[in-house]
Amino acid sequence: MPDADLHLHTYYSDGTFSPEELVCRARNAGLSTIAVTDHDTLEGCQPAIHVSREQGLECIIGTELTAEYESHEVHLLGYFVDPKNEELKRHLDTFQAVRQKRIYEMVERLNRLNVPLKPESVFQLAQCKSPGRPHVARALVKEGLCNNLDEAFERYLKQHRPAWVPKFKIHAVEAIELIHDAGGIAIMAHPGLNRNDALIPPLIRGGLDGLECYHSKHNKTAAEKYFSMTRFYGVLATGGSDCHGLSKGRPLLGTVRIPDSLVQALKDQWQRRRNDTSASAPPFPTSTLAS
């Protein structure tokens, strides 16, 4: 049975599981490889990697960036990025600061609608650097201002609803370069949710390494279509459930699984990229050392 799920969220963004709980559940689900891909943060990766080692699982470092290409939102998964890369750290800090400011803006809009939510209620519940709309929705329910999460989104938070605030998006090609410069592999998350396959060829020309063919919101036809595309363009195929924990009912963890051959292809590409980068780096000026 295929046993890798490469798209998982923790409570460091909008999931509900701690990294530790995620790994334990992954082991119980019979997974042998996972990737933690929280929105705009790498905070959950190290703890997950640590527990994975103890539990005999492999955990790949990752993040999911919200990007834009020709006015279309695309999500890019960055696998194997170096968490110490300064440029990546700087960008993630900015994305997180913008997300925090956006919470205040959404709360302000709610207050103008006479919904008495306090920003502290959201931050207390989020307890992470990368909060988003789901945290506002949960706070609205917790404070008794909405009956459930769906109502919170339908009434206030969905796109073009009165408390919706658009999210900052980095240009997709810039995001791909950022991931590459941090030593990572850039994969388009859930291409089926974009509803625009015309974005794929130019992004592959822009350096995109592959497509997330297998995803909980892709049916069999969509998965097969995107897999054929990856064979046509000679790029990677990946997959994952996009589990957010208990926030959307039954946890999706392990409901999408990919075989080890696809994980291996992802790793091979990463190794090739590393070797290419070191081969093209200018030689270190040894004469300077001698003098």
Residues at the contact surface with ligand AMP, assessed by CB under 6 A: 14, 39, 132-134, 149-150, 153, 158, 167, 244
| Other beta carbons within 10 Å of 50 | 14
Footprint (CB under 5 A) of Zn ion, residues 61-80: 64
Number of residues counted as binding Zn ion (CB under 5 A): 2
Residue nearest to Fe ion (CB): 75
Minimum Å distance from CB 109 to Zn ion? 25
Listed in sequence order, the residues at least 6 apart from 128 whose beta carbon sits closer than 8 Å to its beta carbon are 11, 12, 13, 41, 43
Q: How far is the CB of 120 from ligand AMP (least distance, A)?
A: 18
Q: Which of 3, 5, 14, 38 binds Fe ion (CB under 5 A)?
A: 14
Interface stretch with Zn ion, choices 58-66, 99-107, 227-235, 253-261 (CB under 5 A) = 58-66
- CB nearer ligand AMP, residue 72 or residue 167: 167
Residue 125 contact among Fe ion, ligand AMP, Zn ion, none, beta carbon within 5 to 8 Å by kind: none
Under the criterion CB under 5 A, does residue 242 sit at the interface with Zn ion? yes
For ligand AMP, which is the closer residue by CB, 79 or 153?
Answer: 153
Q: Answer for the pair 65, 180: CB distance below 8 angstroms, yes or no.
A: no
Binding to Fe ion (CB under 5 A): which residues in 75-104?
A: 75
With respect to Zn ion, which residue has the nearer C-beta, 47 or 240? 240
Q: Any contact of residue 155 with Fe ion (CB under 5 A)? A: no
Interacting residues with Fe ion between 164 and 183 (CB under 5 A): none
Residue 60 Cβ vs Fe ion, minimum distance, rounded to whole Å: 17
**Residue 167 touches which of Zn ion, ligand AMP, Fe ion, none (CB < 5 to 8 A by kind)?**
ligand AMP
CB of 122 to ligand AMP, least distance (A): 11
Contact residues toward Fe ion (CB under 5 A) are: 14, 75, 189
Contact residues toward Zn ion (CB under 5 A) are: 64, 242
